Structure 1
Amino acid sequence: MIVGIIGCGSITRFRHAPEYRANPSVKEIVFYDRNPERAEEMKQLFGGRTASSLEALLQDSTVDAISDCSSNEAHYIHTTKALQAGKHVLCEKPIAATVEQAEKMVRTAKETGKLLMVDHNQRFTKAHQKAREILRAKELGEILSFQTTFGHSGPEDWGATKSKETWFFKKDRSHSGAAGDLGIHKLDLLFYLLDDDITNLHSYTATLDKTDENGQPIEVNDNVVCILKTAGGSIGTATFSWTYYGEENNSTTIYCQEGIMKIYQDKHYPLLIAKKNGENIYYALEGIQTNTNQTNSGVIDAFIHCIQEEKKPIVSGEDALKSLRLLEEILQQNEERM
């Protein structure tokens, strides 16, 4: 199988390209970036070849699948064109800048018969998968409440430019700030773990500390706090931040009738169950992937497997659209207050 990658920033360098190279079914990677030097750099690091233009990449009949690792505002354009060109697509999150765009992307995948998967990678960790299994089996009874958090020091420490000029800080490119960068992961995770719809939310977004290259507050949020209620009646909170200037926090707590489930809070035990009767159960699973600890996410392997076996992806376009609708509601609530 030959795959193409659109966009050669940090997400390609640290996740997509090395995971494709490690997959035995992938014979070659073709890189494209509007900055040719970046594509050439990826070729030097991971082998393969470069495409001279987006059109050349998409018209290449040897390319079976595409990773869309472009910036948020371009996902709709690139992924739609790739699907129409007969390629299977793994699109980075969020699936699109708007719900309307995402709906068209999902529709295009159905019309072309090509697989559309979205990189909500939290569904692929062993701790989250085990947690979902326990919750679905009702081993702790019904879910009562929950807390989830995703925060780190911001994209200027992670992005390709390592500067305040990052596209993540620009509204016309990022669109949704920390909410779309980090929050969308946790919204998808809540749907995955709770197996329930979120029917009501109250949210606050703010730009508390981040400044751009001119020293002005960035155009998008750097912090978000949400209160959520599910159709089944459980309530909880979700917080997303680019201003956690110490250790990254990517944790979740689920409070149930018979105990508490703690996910990615203990360094030695990524999943810990504290039961109502005083019993503790420790699961020594792998640690979660972070910006400073890059491990195989499992996303690329799953994408290739779904293509080969003609299976529905673990995170479909419809799944991603569901989370994006919730994200848009979070942003709209705060626009209405302004």
Structure 2
Amino acid sequence: MAQRIWLIVCVILLIPIRTLGQEMPLKVGVVGLSHSHVHWILSDLDRKDIDVVGIVEPNKDLAQRYAQQYGYSMSIVYNTIKEMIAATHPEAVTAFGSIYEHLHVVEVCAPEGVHVMVEKPLAVSVEHAKKMKMLARKHNIHLLTNYETTWYPTNHKAYELLKENYIGTTRKIIVRDGHKGPKKIGVNKEFLDWLTDPIQNGGGAITDFGCYGANLTTWLMEGEKPSTVTAVTLQQQPENNPKVDDDATIILTYNDNVKVIIQASWNWPIGRKDMEIYGVNGVIYVDNKHDMRIHISKGYDGFTAETFNLEERTPPFNDPFALLKAVVRNEVALKPNDLTALENNMIVVEILEAAIKSAKLGKTVKLSAID
């Protein structure tokens, strides 16, 4: 009997030791289900590093539809962020509602000490972005912005090559993003309703896809703001996007004689997220997530060529939720210029607001002149 009791005591004592040896998953709340990027996390609910403890979605039809698709219980679905936080105590939330709602998410979560990651872009306006930054700083929370292109190994390889002066001094960057349009590619109605609303999305393609180029360019330019912003918008599908633009060209100029052209459109015949970076000695073509080319000039129109097919980046730099966990747990410290960092994305919002203003007024806008 004494030996049995001693064995039980040893087992009990060992449990905390084993628990200490295991890293606990990050408790995450999902705020909103209308953004189709939410499938990114719902399709991976069995992962070990993230534990989705609650979902906020007042549209119960939508919540039930995804519950059937992904197998989560409706018992973890709440009507408000406050209810979800009180019941589940998440360490962080990921926002998958409209861009306009991002401010409200931070207003509720920041005072509770809950970290926030929003889908791109950070905010619909500079006014909203400044309020979000103030709240994040006041309550000492992390505020991240997620872009699909952040996880492209080709973009990071291009960044490394630029820092190595592989193609010489940068002269021009061209970023192209978009697809056939939300309605044409068949996004869900809940997403389409706010994506094509100038208030809830902040704009059309100029916001939805212009933000990618602004984010990447701010990163490549090491956090420098452009001196001027010029934009032209079109509405090529008025029957599908009656309230917003669906094609935008944004031109940025920088004081060190660099020009950036951002082509954001819901009218590409084939979906794309690609980039070209021109230096005085060559060009880097980022064709997609894994494929890129480098041409180094020889003579008038000759060149030497290199091609790359890159593997996924190593954790936690290959996935937004893995990085969120690493940042919250102080395993990774974001630099101000990082693609997900608040400082970078404040500049993104400034660029987008200036671009919208430029397109409306039909003239170039100096970034420092934004109210």
Conserved? CA contact 1:203–1:330, under 8 Å: yes
- 1:297 and 1:206 map into 2 onto residues whose CA distance is 35
- 2:190 and 2:64 map into 1 onto residues whose CA distance is 19
Q: Name the residue aligned to 1:317.
A: 342
Q: How much has 1:17 moved relative to structure 2?
A: 2.5
- 2:318 and 2:39 map into 1 onto residues whose CA distance is 11
Residue aligned with 2:166, SS: coil
Q: Name the residue aligned to 2:254.
A: 230
Higher Cα radius of gyration: 2
Aligned to 2:234, which of 206, 220, 242?
Answer: 206
Q: How much has 1:61 moved relative to structure 2?
A: 5.0
- CA deviation string 1:116-145 (max 9, x = no partner): 101133232100011101101112111111
- 2:46 and 2:216 map into 1 onto residues whose CA distance is 26
Q: How much has 1:188 moved relative to structure 2?
A: 0.4
Q: 1:29 to 1:285 in 2, by over 3 A?
A: farther
Which of 219-228 and 150-159 deviates more? 150-159
Aligned to 1:27, which of 34, 48, 51?
Answer: 51
Runs of 4+ with >4 A deviation: none
- CA deviation string 1:129-167 (max 9, x = no partner): 11101101112111111211112011222532289x622
Aligned to 1:240, which of 250, 253, 264?
Answer: 264
Work out the number of aligned pairs and report it. 322
Q: TM-score scaled to structure 2, two decimals?
A: 0.80
Q: Name the residue aligned to 1:15.
A: 40
Q: 1:62 to 1:55 in 2, by over 3 A?
A: closer
Conserved? CA contact 2:50–2:321, under 8 Å: no
Corresponding letter in the other structure for 1:30? G
Q: 1:337 to 1:188 in 2, by over 3 A?
A: same
Question: Percent identity of the aligned residues?
Answer: 18
- 2:161 and 2:354 map into 1 onto residues whose CA distance is 30
- CA deviation string 1:266-291 (max 9, x = no partner): x9x6111111143211111259xxxx
- 1:128 and 1:262 map into 2 onto residues whose CA distance is 10
Q: How much has 1:242 moved relative to structure 2?
A: 0.5
Q: Name the residue aligned to 2:294.
A: 273
- CA deviation string 1:221-247 (max 9, x = no partner): 101012221222112311110111x21
Q: Name the residue aligned to 1:86.
A: 113
- 1:60 and 1:312 map into 2 onto residues whose CA distance is 29
- 1:22 and 1:193 map into 2 onto residues whose CA distance is 35
Corresponding letter in the other structure for 1:263? V
Q: How much has 1:26 moved relative to structure 2?
A: 1.7
Q: Name the residue aligned to 1:293.
A: none
Conserved? CA contact 2:35–2:98, under 8 Å: no
Q: Name the residue aligned to 1:58.
A: 85
Conserved? CA contact 1:121–1:297, under 8 Å: no
- 1:317 and 1:58 map into 2 onto residues whose CA distance is 23
- 1:231 and 1:282 map into 2 onto residues whose CA distance is 32
The answer to whether 1:6 aligns with 2:31 is yes
- 2:67 and 2:111 map into 1 onto residues whose CA distance is 26
Q: 1:286 to 1:4 in 2, by over 3 A?
A: same
Q: 1:108 to 1:59 in 2, by over 3 A?
A: same
Q: 1:123 to 1:28 in 2, by over 3 A?
A: closer
Corresponding letter in the other structure for 2:34? G
Residue aligned with 1:73, SS: coil
Q: Name the residue aligned to 1:39.
A: 63
Aligned to 2:211, which of 184, 191, 198?
Answer: 184
The answer to whether 1:145 aligns with 2:172 is yes
CA-based RMSD of the aligned residues comes to 2.5
Conserved? CA contact 2:34–2:190, under 8 Å: no
The answer to whether 1:260 aligns with 2:283 is yes
Q: Name the residue aligned to 1:292.
A: none
Conserved? CA contact 2:219–2:344, under 8 Å: no
Q: TM-score scaled to structure 1, two decimals?
A: 0.87
